[in-house]
Amino acid sequence: MQQNIYPRSKDRETVYLNQVISNPAIVVGDYTMYNDFTRDPRDFQKNNVLYQYPVNQDKLIIGKFCSIACGAKFLFNSANHTLSSLSTYPFPIFFEEWGLDVEDIRKAWDNKGDIVIGNDVWIGFEAVILAGVTVGDGAVIGARAVVTKDVPPYTIVGGVPAAPIRKRFSQEIIDALQKIRWWDWPKERIARHLPEIQAGQIPEEEMI
């Protein structure tokens, strides 16, 4: 496990995310990095994880070796005004004004669940991922995409709302990658196989 905040000694725009997170409702795997050239990347949980209030007990779970670009946002349940009411106005939030029970505050929004990001996911510049979405291993989220639905593993999505563009690899290779789960290997083993990984080749010894 990496212990330092900054992956590069002279770069203060990029951080290992799990070294700057203090919120227990945000869980980040090793080597996942965030780059921000407009704000301090150490403030990720304040600037990029929005509407995640303790009352909902919702979580942001991000896997290992993810790359998160500047301005990417994770939008949680309290951003969702309820659609089951005749009004979208969040009356339960203003319980004092309307004589409502504080315990009913969560009725102001629709709760869609956690945000779960797999391993080796690339999230592009200013992309937005909404509550309840799961992004599979190896997926790519295009710049400024708004992700409202689950993204399958190794799928590139883009647009508003985000839609599949193409698979990164054949299904055979995708199945093999999900079987070997290289991101769970020890660091020394990953380093030994970096030439194959970077060349887009699955190491033969791992296919046995």
pLDDT at 1: 62
Are residues 140 and 203 both part of a single domain?
no
Are residues 122 and 108 both part of a single domain?
yes
What are 2-55's pLDDT values in tens digits?
A: 679 999 999 999 999 999 999 999 999 999 999 999 999 999 999 999 999 998
pLDDT at 207: 53
- To the query of whether residue 193 is one of the catalytic residues in this protein, the response is no
- 8 vs 23: CA distance, rounded Å: 24
Nearest to 133 by CA among 54, 61, 84: 61
- Domain of residue 199: give its range: 169-208
What are 122-135's pLDDT values in tens digits?
A: 999 999 999 999 99
Are residues 111 and 184 both part of a single domain?
no
The total of structural domains in the chain comes to 2
Are residues 78 and 157 both part of a single domain?
yes
pLDDT band at 117 (very low <50, low <70, confident <90, very high): very high
What order of strands is seen across the sheet that includes strand 155-158?
14-16, 33-35, 67-68, 122-123, 140-141, 155-158, 163-167
Of 39, 59, 81, 167, the active-site residue reads 81
Kindly tell me if the per-residue pLDDT of 169 is higher than 70.
yes
